[in-house]
Amino acid sequence: MTEEEATVLAALDTVRDPELDEPVTTLGFISSCTVSPDGDAQVRLRLPTYFCAPNFAFLMVADAYDAVSAVAGVRRTEVRLEDHFASEAINGGIAARAGFAESFDGLADGELDELRTDFVRKAVLAGTDRVCRPLLAAGQTTDDLAELTLGDLPPSPDLARLRARRADLGLPSGDDSALLVDAVTGEPIGAQALPLHLRRTRLTRVSAEANGSMCRGMLSQRYGTRGQGQVEEVQ
């Protein structure tokens, strides 16, 4: 891999599966990534099944296009989704810089901003559970958690990820921000709502991780090869 290709692949690390909140690279969704000496970048994406939801697929292809196009030295970007029933509509729409509704003319109700926001809210809930679980395992109570701010917690990848997702939604993410907040309003969770909130965060995390495991398994069965930047070995 050339230095330019490594830089483009690093940019693709910022592109996440909207449902799983994991990078498309580590999931194995990037089948190839090349950059010519003239700066023409070509990226090929693949998904676990032929019928993966087209709205999710569109978001990933569009985000990949934007991420690659922003890399210094890239003159032209081509991102294509392979082996998918809606590849033609998605690839054509991205190449034309059209929105989802225009790409699926007559079939889509509108754009995907609300869907993206919903998934970021789920990422905040799942991320909250990832941060809270080790605290509870260490002996802290739910009442203790209600008093904590983000600045009270030791730095960790999970905490950084939670801060980033909250910032994406415009929710409080500074050191003085409460650890437990409503994923819509950003208001601290009250004592009465705390048990239900923590159950919801756990359920959201478990669901996301189960879906991630299923996607990895299906991708492995479908292709049997590692993707560019994939973390886990193909079984």
Q: Show pLDDT as tens, one digit a residue, over the chain (235 residues).
A: 899 999 999 999 999 999 999 999 999 999 999 999 999 999 999 999 999 999 999 999 999 999 999 999 999 999 999 999 999 999 999 999 999 999 999 888 899 999 999 999 999 999 999 999 999 999 999 999 999 999 999 999 999 999 999 999 999 999 999 999 999 999 999 889 999 999 999 999 999 999 999 999 999 999 999 999 897 654 4
Predicted confidence at residue 234, as pLDDT, reads 44
User: What's the confidence (pLDDT) of residue 232?
Assistant: 60
pLDDT score at 127: 98
CATH number of 3-111+212-223: 3.30.300.130
pLDDT of residue 235: 42
CB 50 within 8 A of CB 84: yes
User: Could you give the residue range(s) of every CATH 3.30.300.130 domain in the chain?
Assistant: 3-111+212-223
pTM for the model? 0.92
Q: How many CB atoms lie within 10 A of CB 22?
A: 19
pLDDT at residue 106, as a whole number: 83
Please provide the DSSP assignment of the chain as one string. --HHHHHHHHHHTT-EETTTTEEHHHHT-EEEEEE-TT-EEEEEE--SSTT--HHHHHHHHHHHHHHHHTSTT--EEEEEE-S-TTHHHHHHHHHTT--HHHHTTTT--S-SHHHHHHHHHHHHHHHHHHHHHHHHHTT--HHHHHH-BGGGSPP-HHHHHHHHHHHHTT---STTSBSSB-TTT-PBPPTTTHHHHHHHHHHHHHHHHHHHHHHHHHHHHHH-SPPTT--SPP-
